A = this chain, B = another copy of it.
Amino acid sequence: MTETVFYAELPWPEVEARIAAGAPVFLPLGATEQHGRHMALNVDVVLPTAIAARAAAAVGGLVLPTLAYGNRSQPKTGGGPGFPGTINLSAQTFALILRDVICDLFRQKVRKIVTVNGHYENIGPTIEGIELALDAIGRDRSDGLVILRVDHWDMVQGATLERIFPDGYPGIELEHASVIETSMMMALRPELVDLTKAAHDGPAAFLPYDRYPKPCAEVPPSGVLSLTEGSSAEKGEWLLADCTAGIVAAVAREFN
């Protein structure tokens, strides 16, 4: 069982040994959130887990269990907290999980941590969780602790986006459940994608502000914020390759 990159599939002596040997530890951050009528709720879990696993395989790292529940979905970036199926943690709860996990990794002498995020709304509470951990651990460190915070979509190369969106990239926020996520899911878990169910009620035309508590009327009923046309497993592989390469490069730059 020792060939796996998955931390939790190893017995403790093997984990201890790999960490002592300098293995970076990847923490995928996901969500259980609507991703349109054509994809499963676990898109934000599948993508960062797969990307972290590919990166870990390349650099001798370990992948922690993915956080499967994310910070409250918002209408403009995920459909919003009122969408059926979506399960929302409060920002403080999410940040406390990060704080606890990082503090405990630190306690067992992990000094190279990479969070790999797949859910837009997690950005803020991930930063907060890291800061809370550093509040507890201290920031003036001589032990080399480095935490990298990666949003997978920021690892995609401009050239790749141009290949995928010859008519222009709509931006990652509107990309929710759209071509990028759909393509990567088609590459990784095609059985969880059914393009025949894809609605054509987007792209969303959002007003330039948020409104509470009434759900935002501008969210397309399908939950797809942009469009799914043109998604393909091949494009998914291009994107996954970029994400993996970007993380591998970051690890090489920052942990040596």
A205 part of interface (Cβ distance < 8 Å)? no
Give Cα A37–Cα B12 distance, bound, in whole angstroms: 6
Knowing A123-B124, A192-B1, say if A11 contacts B32 (CB, 8 Å): no
Q: Name the B residues within 8 Å of A123 (CB-CB).
A: 124
Q: For A1, what are the chain B residues with a Cβ–Cβ distance below 8 Å?
A: 40, 191-192, 194
A213 to chain B, nearest CB (A): 4
> Dominant SS at the A interface?
mixed
Cβ contacts under 8 Å, A65 to chain B: 32, 42, 45, 68-69
Size category of the A interface is 35 or more
A253 neighbours in B (Cβ, 8 Å): 207
State in angstroms the CA–CA spacing of A48 and B101 once bound together: 21
Which of B7, B41, B141 sits near A32, CB closer than 8 Å? B7
Query: Which B residues touch A81, using CB under 8 A?
Result: 104, 107, 131
Residues of A within 8 A of B (CB): 1, 7-13, 15-16, 19, 32, 34-42, 45, 64-69, 72, 74, 81-93, 95-97, 99-101, 104-105, 107-108, 121, 123-125, 127-128, 130-132, 134-136, 139, 141, 145-151, 154-155, 191-192, 194, 197, 207-214, 223, 246, 250, 253-254
